[in-house]
Structures are given as structure tokens and as C-alpha cells.
Amino acid sequence: MGNFIDLKAADGFVFPAYVAEPAGRPKAGVVVVQEIFGVNSHIRSVADGYAAEGYLAVAPATFHRVKPGVDLGYSPDDMSAGMALKAAVEALPAPGVMRDLQAAAQHAAQAGKVGIVGYCWGGLLTWRAASMLDGLSAAVPYYGGGMTTPDEVARQPRVPVMAHFGDQDHWISLESVEAFKRAHPEVEVHLYHANHGFNCDQRGSHDAASAKRTRERTLAFFARHLG
């Protein structure tokens, strides 16, 4: 359904983004932020899914500043490679990859209001985007790795946020999720009986019921704030 285009960040850096367009006139734009596995077949299918719902979906390659063309699977070796790439991006001088997310949001804005949704590391970037980027109207982080740490909890979102977490997540403790909820009563937090990565149907941790419920809630949230 979609194809890759080049976008340019404010510092002149050019990077690819997968763009999926709806059949008719888009009702809004959605930035889809990758996991640590690149803009792989799963993330492209997520973007296609938002396009099927009427959104202009833009999935920027957030690893491109450290390595181009990343398209990983979900094996242990892929996990190690993705973790190393994430660490390399996180080590970039500020604002690092946030400039690329801003450029993706600006491209999506041709469709009207813009929401952002991200998964795993992309969930963390989505949480940061909610407090740092211009031109967003809603943000939905899925099991954002690291977003419940004190430094990240200290951020103040500028747009409505809905956050999804799994109560079996061995990367994000329930205690830290509860602390996040106490610090951010304005954020709509949902907890599911599921593990990290439950939305991804290519991972062993996939939970179909939780993935379906989060999708319904996210689409309703976007309909409310992007309409």
C-alpha cells in the first residue's frame, strides 16, 4: 500500500520514511514510530493499517542517522543488533532523532491534524515527542521502554496522551507504571494482561486480544483528537 520517500530534517539530514496513503482524502496524519528493529515488515503493516482507517501514515527510519537500511526480524541476534543501534541513536547529541520525527510530523500535517504512535523504543520516542515536538494533537506510546524512568516521567506532555502497557512486561515494571500514573493523572493509561511487544504479530509475545483492544482504543482516541 505504501512506499518509501525521502524527508529532510531541520539540520539538512535526509532520511527515508515509509508513507502509506488512504484510498480517499485523508482525515488526518499519523506518525508511526518503529521498534528497535527498523521500519520492517511489521511496522510497514502497522502504517498500512492506519492508512486503511483513513489516515496518512508516515513511518520515519529513526536509525538512519547511525545506520541506513535497517530491516530486522525478531531473533536473539536481531534483538542484540537493534539494542546496539538504539544505544547509538540515544548517544547522538541532542536533539538527535527528534528532528527526524519533527520532519515526519510536518509531512503528515498535509493531511490535517497529526497524531503519533510508537512501539517499544518508538513508544519512548513518542512520549518524548508529546513534550518536545510542534504540530502534534495526540500521542499514543505502546510499552515505551524507559518512559517510566524518573528522567522521562519528569517530562510534561503538551498534547493528550494515551499509554498502553502489559502487566507481564519484564522490561517495564508494574511499580514504575504505577509511579508514572501517579505523576501523570492527565495521561490515559491502560494495562493489559500481556508481555512486552504484545502488539506485534511477528513476536512470540504477541497477544491478539490485547492488540485488538489497544487498536480500538487508539483509533477512538485519534478520532477524538484528530477529527
Tens digits of residue pLDDT in 117-173? 999 999 999 999 999 999 999 999 999 989 999 999 999 999 999 999 999 999 999
Does 1 score more than 90 pLDDT? no
- The total of structural domains in the chain comes to 1
Closest by alpha carbon to 131, among 161, 107, 94?
161
| Percentage of the chain modeled with pLDDT above 90 | 99
Mean per-residue pLDDT for 106-117? Answer: 98
**Where residue 216 sits, what CATH number does that domain have?**
3.40.50.1820
Strand 28-33's sheet: what is its strand order?
A: 2-8, 14-20, 55-60, 28-33, 114-119, 138-142, 162-166, 188-192
Does 175 score more than 80 pLDDT? yes
Expressed in percent and rounded to 5, the helix, strand and coil fractions of the chain are: 40, 20, 40
Mean per-residue pLDDT for 179-199? Answer: 97
| 3-class state of residue 128 by DSSP | helix
Cis peptide before 160 (omega within 30 of 0): no
Q: What is the pTM of this model?
A: 0.98
In terms of phi and psi (left: phi > 0; alpha: psi -120 to 50; beta: otherwise), the region of 118 is: beta
Please provide the average confidence, as pLDDT, over all residues in the chain. Answer: 97
Active-site amino acid positions: 120, 169, 196
C-beta atoms surrounding 211 within 10 Å: 18
pLDDT tens, residue by residue, 29-88: 999 999 999 999 999 999 999 999 999 999 999 999 999 999 999 999 999 999 999 999
CA-based R_g, the chain, Å: 16
User: Are the C-beta atoms of residues 160 and 139 closer than 8 Å to each other?
Assistant: yes
Which residues constitute the domain of residue 149? 2-226
Q: How many CA atoms lie within 13 A of 82 on its CB side?
A: 21
What pLDDT shows up at residue 178? 97
